[in-house]
Amino acid sequence: MHVIRPSGYRIMPWKNGGGTTTEIYVSPEGAGKFDWRVSIATVNEDGPFSSFNGYERHIMTLAGEGMRLKVEGRGKFDLKPFKPFSFSGDTRVLGSLLNGPVLDFNLMVRRDFGQGTLSAPDCEAGHTLGPGQGLHLVHVLKGECEIEGKQVGPNDSFYLAAGEAVSLPANLKLAICEITPHGQPWSNV
């Protein structure tokens, strides 16, 4: 298990220039065309989402009253805290705040690389994360504990390589990203 502290996160401009995102992890690091990325962004005003052709996007709000997404060809969807929503990065999306700024959590996975899932469970002590075919990147939303000799708490993240598993010693609210490449072993994390 590798822990990523907030001091290791990077603040990056949105692709469309409308704001910034806090990049928790990107693979491969420093690549112009990443395989997958996990980030958190504060959305302060209505506006279009950045286009990410070739990517599947998974998003959920963490704080605030919510946001309405108008997704080209699919309609309107209201984002509620801790309820993931997925859409193609190829489509035009317009976000409208329901009542003030929101904090959102994002997973993007390049379609020709693999697939991803996003969930936000309340995990009880004894819950096992992993193992599985994919890598698990986990972001702690609430709670704190020591896992494998490493202290983790709110806003810390950690990842488990494919096949790795940990048992949680305390109750935690987590954002869990599982990223599974198409038919290829993990070459880097």
pLDDT of residue 33: 85
Contact 19, 41 (CB under 8 A): yes
For residue 70, list its beta bridge partners.
76, 94
Q: Kindly report which listed range (11-25, 50-64, 78-92, 136-150) carries the lowest average pLDDT score.
A: 11-25
115-181: which CATH topology? Jelly Rolls (2.60.120)
Residue 186 predicted with pLDDT over 60:
no
Residue 134 predicted with pLDDT over 90:
no
pLDDT of residue 117: 96
Q: Report, as an integer, the average pLDDT of 135-155.
A: 93
CA pair distance 172, 151, nearest whole angstrom? 13
Helix/strand/coil percentages in the chain, nearest 5: 0, 55, 45
* Domain parsing of the chain, residue ranges: 9-111, 115-181
pLDDT of residue 6: 95
* Domain 115-181 in the same topology as domain 9-111: yes
Hey, what CATH class is 9-111 in? mainly beta
CA pair distance 60, 80, nearest whole angstrom? 7
Mean pLDDT of the chain: 91
Q: Report, as an integer, the average pLDDT of 134-162.
A: 92
For residue 31, list its beta bridge partners.
none
| Structure-token match 């395989």, residue found | 35
pLDDT of residue 37: 95
Residue 185 predicted with pLDDT over 60:
no
Residue 121 predicted with pLDDT over 60:
yes
